[in-house]
Amino acid sequence: MSNIYEDRFLRLPEVKRRIQVSRATIYRLVESGRLARPHRLGVRCVAWLASDINDFISRAPVSERQA
């Protein structure tokens, strides 16, 4: 993981675009521990670190990303 000060936050639409899965699948991956939990930015706002999403993409087989 890179330094948090050099990283950026990605909101759900960007995460969905990058890993090409639905919202439900993203949260299923989070609950199973295969995808990092999002960071709470506000009462109704969460986002993932770009480095966490890049790590997931680099280590997950294509079939898991399409689960």
Give the structural domain span for 58: 9-65
Q: Total domain count for the chain?
A: 1
Residue 44 zone, left/alpha/beta (φ > 0; ψ -120 to 50; rest):
alpha
Q: Tell me if 36 is assigned to some domain.
A: yes
Q: What is the DSSP letter of 21?
A: -
Q: What pLDDT does residue 15 have?
A: 97
Q: Tell me if 39 is assigned to some domain.
A: yes
Q: What pLDDT does residue 65 have?
A: 55
Q: Tell me if 32 is assigned to some domain.
A: yes
Q: What is the pTM of this model?
A: 0.80
Q: What is the per-residue pLDDT across 42-56, written as a single tens digit (0 to 9) for each?
A: 999 999 999 999 999
Nearest Cα neighbor of 57 from 8, 48, 41, 39 is: 48
Q: Tell me if 23 is assigned to some domain.
A: yes
Q: What is the per-residue pLDDT across 3-62, written as a single tens digit (0 to 9) for each?
A: 656 789 999 999 999 999 999 999 999 999 999 999 999 999 999 999 999 999 998 776
Q: Tell me if 60 is assigned to some domain.
A: yes
Q: What pLDDT does residue 60 have?
A: 78
Q: Tell me if 49 is assigned to some domain.
A: yes
